Chains A and B, each alone.
Chain A
Amino acid sequence: MSRLARHGWCVATALLVPWLVLAAPAPLKLAGVPPAWPVLWLLPWALVDGPLSGALAGVGLGLVLDGLQLGPITQIPALGLLGWWWGRLGRQGPPIERSFNLGLLALLGAALLGGSLLVQGALLQSQQAGAWVVAPALHTWLAQTLLTALLAPLLCSLQLLLWRRQTQGRRS
């Protein structure tokens, strides 16, 4: 069993993600678009807890979030993949702590997640009547990616600090 998952309260922080998605706090929006909350939670979790735990957490979050959203578009593959990738990065080499690195990883993660939604939307729309309107989707993708990358150094570094303390404290 992974180290972080043994702490109940650490797992419980995942509940913040659907709560924030539903609450959609207006001050934390850029041009009406909220940040990718699952990315901001999953990044530090996977970096601390490894690829398997990261992938499982990503899939779990994706399942919950897909339940809250309309339509057949899913976030599960992108979040699962991101959890696994970030988990591997966390296990290889020195620990990732710098704000720039966290921001860059979050930017890539939000871009991948948004890109997967965009592609799914385009495929779905092309099967139905009418053409896929690219401009609004690109606007959402860009705004969400930028906002997530801006918030990541602030939020993810705090989570990393907190969760690393938990796992180190338990090990010693």
Chain B
Amino acid sequence: MQAGRRLRLPALRVILQAWPWALLLLALLAVRLSKGAGVSDAYALLSRPFWPGSAQGEWIRSAQSLSDQTRLRQLDADNRRLRDLLELQGRGGREVSAPVISRQAGGWWQQLVIGRGELQGLRPGLPVTAPGGLIGRIASVTPTTATVALLTDPGSRVGVWVGRTQRHGLLTGVGTSRPVLRFLEKDPGVRAGDVVATSPASTLVPPNLTVGVIQSVDDRAVPATEAVVQLSAPVDAVDWVQVRLP
């Protein structure tokens, strides 16, 4: 370098023209300092539909679901055939969907009014299900509506069993959102978390409809063990229910 030569600052015009480049440089510096944050996140977001793990998982789940459905149909057919042979109550035939037009799940009465009635073939005693399982039985019908007595109603009594231990009991409504399961024997061997379904021996409701899950067990109850059951169908949230016709 030549002695005596002074450093010159770039002209102001050049600096003003270069400010977008300076910003870019700063952004790149930020990416560098943050170890690629932003860039890799954006890439992950954009490439998510093409991730091999996710897509493969979907395929496997879909195939598993198809396999389960096929197996379920076969088991259902077997079950129906065997129940016919034993002359037991069947799972019922056609289902009628009905909108919930009045809901009284709290208060003195625990009931629903649904928008289908005698004209659609409904009659007292038919079981009513919702996504999640059984919610009650039809108590009365008019030509276009039906009143459903919920499992939580104090007058409701349904024969159920715990599939794991195969112990039977009577599910009794007590006016709260959780009915009480009164077992027929002193030591049924059940525990919290066991799934409760309608009894295969029941003459009132189809067998093996999911009812709920045991929440707590009272072994000291007299004359036999009692359990509090959390219903699996959310009665407060369902807008449509299914009535199982015989």
A-side interface residues toward B, CB under 8 Å?
A: 21-24, 29, 31-34, 69-71, 73, 114, 117, 121, 125, 130, 133, 136-137, 140, 144
Within 8 A of A (CB), among B139-163: 139-140, 147, 149, 153-155
A sample of 30 inter-chain contacts (CB < 8 A) reads A21-B104, A22-B102, A24-B104, A29-B106, A31-B106, A32-B105, A32-B106, A32-B107, A33-B106, A33-B107, A34-B107, A69-B109, A69-B111, A70-B109, A70-B111, A70-B149, A70-B153, A70-B155, A71-B109, A71-B155, A117-B108, A121-B108, A121-B154, A125-B154, A136-B174, A136-B175, A136-B176, A137-B175, A140-B175, A144-B107
Across the interface, do B107 and A130 meet the contact criterion of CB distance under 8 Å?
A: no
Across the interface, do A22 and B113 meet the contact criterion of CB distance under 8 Å?
A: yes
Q: Chain B residues with Cβ under 8 A from A73's Cβ?
A: 108
Residue on A with the closest CB to B107? A33
A-contact 0/1 string along B105-121, CB 8 Å cutoff: 11111010100000000
Q: Chain A residues with Cβ under 8 A from B149's Cβ?
A: 70
A133, B113: Cα distance in complex, Å: 25
Within 8 A of A (CB), among B87-142: 101-109, 111, 113, 139-140
Residue on B with the closest CB to A30? B106
Please tell me if B198 contacts chain A, counting CB pairs below 8 Å. Answer: no
Residue on B with the closest CB to A114? B108
Across the interface, do A130 and B102 meet the contact criterion of CB distance under 8 Å?
A: no
Please tell me if B168 contacts chain A, counting CB pairs below 8 Å. Answer: no
Residue on B with the closest CB to A24? B104
Q: Chain B residues with Cβ under 8 A from A137's Cβ?
A: 108, 175
A34 CB, min distance to chain B CBs, angstroms: 6
Given A125-B154, A133-B176, check contact A140 B107 (CB 8 Å): yes
Please tell me if B244 contacts chain A, counting CB pairs below 8 Å. Answer: no
Q: Chain B residues with Cβ under 8 A from A32's Cβ?
A: 105-107
Q: Chain B residues with Cβ under 8 A from A29's Cβ?
A: 106
A70, B150: Cα distance in complex, Å: 10
Q: Chain B residues with Cβ under 8 A from A117's Cβ?
A: 108
A144, B172: Cα distance in complex, Å: 24
B219 CB, min distance to chain A CBs, angstroms: 18
Given A70-B147, A71-B155, check contact A24 B102 (CB 8 Å): yes
Within 8 A of A (CB), among B170-186: 172, 174-176, 182
Residue on A with the closest CB to B156? A70
Among all A-B residue pairs, the 8 with the closest Cβ atoms: A32-B106, A136-B175, A22-B102, A133-B174, A136-B176, A69-B109, A33-B107, A70-B139
Q: Chain B residues with Cβ under 8 A from A34's Cβ?
A: 104, 106-107
Q: Chain B residues with Cβ under 8 A from A31's Cβ?
A: 106
